[in-house]
């Protein structure tokens, strides 16, 4: 059964959509975070297209990540407002490890644009860090586009520090800022 159905997620501009804050301020949604499986593939691809304008992972790469013993794909699911539709995949993170290294890499993190700003990215990052620790890693590294305000804010608020810059890292020539944090 596919409980990671792709949501109707539309990009609404070249960047990240406006965050949808809970207008009542009554607490934020609690996503369930679990390891993704093959049945989540379509929803993960829809998310990739909704969340990223460039450098999207292809279906093959996502399928490989799901199967790879050195990678963890985490899926964040929320109950759809209409409960009988079942949970909807609203975010994902990909963690990568290398044999013999205690440094894990956050290869990707994404939240559906219409669910941005609700803390789901933070929850996914917590889960990725916990998973890296469980694998015996003591450090997490990642790259982020220098113009990705939401990503940079997420990482810096959580104690990540910039340790390097990689010029022309992305398809469109944008540089990457490399961040890391001890776990």
Closest CA relative to residue 6, chosen from 48, 63, 66: 48
Q: In the range 142-181, which residues lie near ligand COA by CB under 6 A? A: 144, 148-151, 153-154, 157
Write the CA distances from 96 to 16, 86, 129, 154, 167, integer angstroms. 24, 29, 11, 19, 22
Question: Quick check: 29 binds ligand COA (CB under 6 A)?
Answer: no
φ/ψ of residue 172, rounded to 5: -90, 10
Interaction pattern, residues 55-84, with ligand COA; x per rule: CB under 6 A: ------------------------------
Q: Which is nearer to ligand COA, 129 or 148 (CB)?
A: 148
Whole-angstrom Cα distance, residue 96 to residue 74? Answer: 11
Give the nearest residue (CB) to ligand COA: 121
φ/ψ of residue 17, rounded to 5: -70, 160
Question: Quick check: 122 binds ligand COA (CB under 6 A)?
Answer: yes
Which positions lie near ligand COA, rule CB under 6 A? 16, 19, 51-52, 109-111, 116-122, 144, 148-151, 153-154, 157
């Amino acid at each position: 059964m596919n409980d990671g159905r792709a949501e109707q997620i539309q990009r609404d501009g070249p960047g990240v959509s406006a965050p949808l804050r809970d207008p009542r301020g009554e607490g934020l949604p609690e996503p369930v975070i679990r390891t993704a499986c093959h049945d989540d593939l379509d929803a993960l691809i829809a998310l990739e297209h909704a969340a990223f304008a460039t450098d999207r992972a292809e279906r093959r790469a996502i399928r490989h990540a799901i199967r790879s013993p050195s990678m963890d794909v985490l899926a964040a699911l929320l109950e759809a407002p209409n409960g009988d539709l079942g949970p909807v995949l609203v975010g994902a993170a990909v963690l990568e490890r290398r044999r013999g290294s205690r440094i894990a890499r956050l290869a990707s993190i994404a939240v559906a644009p219409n669910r941005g700003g609700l803390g789901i990215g933070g929850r996914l990052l917590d889960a990725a860090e916990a998973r890296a620790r469980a694998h015996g890693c003591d450090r997490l590294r990642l790259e982020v586009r220098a113009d990705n305000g939401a990503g940079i804010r997420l990482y810096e608020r959580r104690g990540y520090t910039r340790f390097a810059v990689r010029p022309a890292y992305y398809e469109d020539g944008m540089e990457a800022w490399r961040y890391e944090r001890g776990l």
